[in-house]
């Protein structure tokens, strides 16, 4: 019951490390905003500490409600370090625009990012493992998990999945034009925003693909 309430349009509780030291007006703890930023991406940057030093690796993730899943081979470093629990920071960033101001100082980027702090745990429950693997595939192409061969026992044994709960979370968003200084407005430099987006090209079938296997409907919306 509390979980249902927690998921209905409420906000994450700010903590000392999710309140930024600057540009606080860009920070948000809104659950729907966080979910929307997470759901539009599939690659995150996962940070953890090894021998006292930070490591940041790009990796795929999937969201199921208030849980994120990342996966790797059972021999990968995060997987080997995740017992009994690995402190991580998982960050997802969309670049939406290049912000060019008259002054070098006010150049910026329009972006939406989510930063998740927490402890990742290895998934051992077989049902949760399968749900997580489906989520990882569907995060990249929604609907794809129903149209591919599920992992067999050997593949499952080779795959480690880590779970990270969405609890200590913040989003950060910058939108709009450059914040030029009033005294700079007459300078002869162009000022404005260059929109940035992700472009998906025409799918390239594998050379081995039979001619009668059509492009699935769920891929035409990419």
Residues within window 118-177 making contact with a second copy, judged by CB under 8 A? 133-134, 136-137, 140-141, 144-145, 147-152, 155, 159, 177
**Is 7 exposed, middle or buried (CB count within 10 Å of its CB: 0-12, 13-18, 19+)?**
middle
Q: Which is nearer to a second copy, 3 or 212 (CB)?
A: 212
Nearer to a second copy, 6 or 165 (CB): 165
Binder to a second copy among 37, 82, 90, 173 (CB under 8 A)?
A: 90
Among 4, 22, 153, 221, binds a second copy (CB under 8 A): 22
Give the one residue of 87, 125, 142, 175 binding a second copy; rule: CB under 8 A: 87
> What single-letter DSSP state applies at residue 33?
H
Confirm or reject binding of residue 89 to a second copy (CB under 8 A).
yes
Give dist(CA 87, CA 50) in Å, integer: 10
Among 1, 53, 153, 211, binds a second copy (CB under 8 A): 53
Cα separation, 52 vs 84, whole angstroms: 18
CA distance 178 to 195: 13
Hey, what's the torsion of the CAs at 116, 77, 39, 93, to 10 degrees?
A: 60
* Least spacing, CB of residue 29 vs a second copy, in Å: 17
- Give 3 or 51: the residue with its C-beta nearer to a second copy: 51
Q: Least CB distance from residue 165 to a second copy, whole Å?
A: 15
Half-sphere exposure of 166 (CA within 13 A, CB side): 28
Interface residue with a second copy among 37, 115, 169, 171 (CB under 8 A) is 115
Rounded alpha-carbon distances, angstroms, from residue 30 to 13, 41, 152, 167: 9, 18, 38, 12
């Amino acid at each position: 019951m509390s979980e249902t309430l927690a998921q209905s349009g409420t906000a994450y509780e700010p903590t000392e490390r999710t309140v930024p030291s600057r540009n606080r007006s860009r920070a948000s703890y809104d659950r729907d905003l966080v979910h929307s930023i997470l759901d539009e991406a599939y690659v995150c940057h996962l940070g953890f500490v090894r021998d006292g030093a930070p490591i940041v690796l790009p990796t795929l993730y999937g969201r199921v409600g208030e849980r994120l899943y990342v996966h790797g081979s059972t021999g990968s470093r995060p997987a080997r370090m995740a017992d009994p629990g690995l402190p991580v920071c998982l960050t997802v960033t969309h670049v939406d625009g290049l912000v060019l101001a008259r002054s070098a100082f006010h150049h910026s980027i329009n972006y939406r990012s989510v930063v998740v702090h927490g402890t990742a745990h290895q998934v051992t429950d077989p049902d949760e493992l399968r749900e997580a693997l489906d989520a990882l595939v569907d995060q990249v192409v929604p609907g794809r998990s129903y149209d591919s061969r599920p992992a067999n026992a050997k593949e499952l044994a080779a795959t480690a999945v880590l779970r990270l709960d969405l609890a200590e979370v913040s989003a950060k968003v910058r939108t709009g034009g450059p914040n030029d200084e009033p005294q700079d407005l007459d300078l002869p430099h162009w000022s404005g925003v260059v929109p940035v987006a992700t472009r998906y090209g025409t799918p390239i079938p594998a050379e081995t693909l039979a001619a009668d296997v059509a492009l699935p409907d769920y891929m035409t919306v990419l």
